[in-house]
Amino acid sequence: MKPVDLLRSAADDARLLLAAARSGWERTVPDCPGWDAADLVRHQGGIFAWMAAVVTSGQRVSRRGLAPAPAEAAELPGWYLDSLDQAIDVLGSADPGAETWTFSSTGDLRVGWWQRRLAVEVAIHRFDAQHAAAADSGSWPGPLDGDVAAAGIEEFMTEFLPGLLAQDGVGGLSGTLHLHAMDGPAEWWIDLGAGGRAVREHARADTAVRGTRSELLLFLTNRGSSGALDVLGRQEVLDEWKQLRR
C-alpha cells in the first residue's frame, strides 16, 4: 500500500474516531480496558504528536516531554485535529526510505515503518471508538480498510507476535495456525510452538481461520468478530488467543 494511501486512510479513520468519541466523552471503551472515550482521544492525539516529533528529529523522543493533552473534553477536538494534521504533514512529506528511530523488533528503521504504524493504529482505535458507541444498539462498526488491515496483519506477524507469545503467563497456545483472507491477498501460516514463526503460504494447520482482512486483524488484536469468521480444527485456539494483549 502506497504511503499516500496509508496516510489518507489514517486521516479518514482519525476523524471518524473523533466523531464517535465526542458523542459520549465518558462512555467506556470495552476494547481499551480502563479508558473512556476522552482517554482514547487523548491517547491517539498524543500518538500523533509523538510520531511527528520522532520523524522530524529522526531520534527517539520521550512522550513525557511533549505537551500534555487538554484535561477538559471541550478542548480535545481542536488539540486532536491539530496533532493529526501535524502527523499527516510530517509523515506525508518524508521519504519512506529515510532513516529514523522506530521501536521495530525487526530492526526496520525507516519512515515507511511509521507510515504503516499510523494507519494501522488509528484504524484499530477508530473501530474501538465506534464499537463503544454502538454497544447499546448491538450494531457492529464498519470494517477496517482491507489494504490497511492486510498491512496490520503483516505488522502483527512480523513485529509483535513473537514478543506476545514470549510474555510471562502465556500458555496453552501451541500447534499451527493458518490465516486466510477471503477478500484480498493476506495469507499466513504460523507455528505457535516455534515462537510464532510466520510465513506467507497456504499450508495445512491445526487451526484454520478464514474471514475478511478486517475480521482477521480484529481477531488477532482481540477485538472480537461480527460472526463472519470461519474456524476449522482446534476451536479452543480462539479462546486461548485472548491472552495476547498489546
Per-residue pLDDT tens digits for 14-56: 999 999 999 999 999 999 999 999 999 999 999 999 999 999 9
DSSP-H helix ranges across the chain? 3-21, 37-57, 76-93, 111-134, 146-155, 161-165, 213-220, 236-240
pLDDT score of 224: 75
Q: What is the mean pLDDT of the chain?
A: 94
User: What is the Rg, in whole angstroms, of the alpha carbon atoms belonging to the chain?
Assistant: 18
Indicate the pTM of the whole model: 0.94
Strand partners, 181: 211
Please state, in angstroms and rounded to a whole number, the distance separating the CA atoms of residues 78 and 95.
28
What is the reported pLDDT for 111? 98
Transcribe 185-224 into DSSP letters: S-EEEEEGGGTSEEES-----SEEEEE-HHHHHHHHTT--
The pLDDT of residue 138: 72
Query: Residues in the chain with pLDDT < 70?
Result: 136-137, 226, 246
Cell numbers at 52, concatenated: 511527528
Question: Identity (one letter) of the amino acid at 111?
Answer: V
Burial class (CB in 10 A: 0-12, 13-18, 19+), 65: exposed
The domains located in the chain, with CATH, are 3-137 (1.20.120.450), 154-243 (3.30.1050.10)
Q: What is the pLDDT of residue 246?
A: 60
pLDDT in the model for residue 173: 87
pLDDT value for 194: 85
**Can you tell me whether residue 180 is helix, strand or coil?**
strand
Q: What is the DSSP letter of 9?
A: H
- Report d(CA 211, CA 213) in Å as an integer: 6
> What is the per-residue pLDDT across 65-75, written as a single tens digit (0 to 9) for each?
999 999 999 99
Plot region of 93 (φ>0 → left; ψ -120 to 50 → alpha; else → beta): alpha
